[in-house]
Amino acid sequence: MKKTYFGRLLTAMVTPFNADGSINYEAGADFADWLLANGSDGLVVEGSTGEAATMDMDEKIKFMQNIVARVNGRAKIVAGAGTNCTASTIDLVKKMEACGVDGVLVVGPYYNKPTQEGYYQHFAAVAKATKLPIIVYNVPGRTGGNIAPETVARLAADFSNIVAIKEAAGNVAQTAELYRVLPEDFSIYSGDDGLILPFLSVGACGLISVLANVNGNILQQLMQAYSEGRVKDAADLNKVMVPLAKAMFIESNPIPIKAAVTKVTGIEAGAPRLPLTPISAAAEAKLDAALKAAGMIK
């Protein structure tokens, strides 16, 4: 596995909330410390797992400044900075750049359903507006559209600061095609914990992870085993990891992972903001069973 600009394992970090729904900035900083001590090479802050969709701009800036200050250069920080409006995305990217982040994760515009040319022009406009490294985020299940490998290759060829993709289409064949058409130094990150092993086999270099909010170490061990050619060891770790990864999606992300963070780390993550709701009793029982089976809680 080749080295990456951002590191092998980036955690899509949850945003801790207080009981009244306000952001718990101190808990956020403490959680960043916990993540870096427990397997994370870097952090993706204010992505979909971080509930950026329900944060206002003042909150986004204050929370990001808080995380950047606490991390203090110890790891790369990537800001979730995508919207479904190109002008708004550029504005957000510039604000995140001013916060001192190391890169931005820009999702394909959701709801609008652009053509492939529309995707190209959107990312081109963002790339021209910043010097920050950009990770293209392809997640058709949330956006309603797929960014084709040819479009990503075109962007990589035309813009030196488009350096990576978070590929969350759940399609191993598409990931293989990305590896075929992209430059050698372009980083392909899996956007699905449960698919990291097959994605590694066709050219992915790392993972942007939900599960790493509570267990980055197992993912690091799995990727290390694969990189050293210990494929059987990687497969055995995968057997343990996949049920955990699935448990984090028994209800809409980040409902289960926020509950898991509180249970595993002792840092109170709080409930998600509406329109998401706290984890149901039935789902919590399944989550607890998975965490207990993995020895993560008693």
- Strand stretches in the chain, DSSP E: 9-12, 42-45, 76-80, 103-107, 134-138, 162-167, 187-190, 206-209
Identity (one letter) of the amino acid at 268? E
Chain centroid offset of residue 101 CA:
15
- Report phi then psi at 162, rounded to 5: -95, 105
Q: What is the DSSP letter of 76?
A: E
Choosing from 60, 76, 166, 258, which is the catalytic residue?
166
Please, which residues have CB within 8 angstroms of residue 258's CB and are 6 or more apart in sequence? 14, 269, 270, 271, 272, 279
137 in catalytic set? yes
Give the Cα separation of 32 and 70 in Å (integer). Answer: 8
Identity (one letter) of the amino acid at 68? V
263 in catalytic set? no
Choosing from 25, 137, 189, 226, which is the catalytic residue?
137
Please, which residues have CB within 8 angstroms of residue 50's CB and are 6 or more apart in sequence? 12, 13, 14, 15, 44, 80, 254
What is the CA angle 192-143-180, rounded to 5?
55
The dihedral built from the CA positions of residue 58, 168, 230 and 184, taken in this order, carries a sign that is: negative
Give the Cα separation of 125 and 129 in Å (integer). Answer: 6
Residue with tokens 């084709």: 148
Chain centroid offset of residue 249 CA:
14
Q: Give catalytic residues, as residue numbers.
A: 137, 166
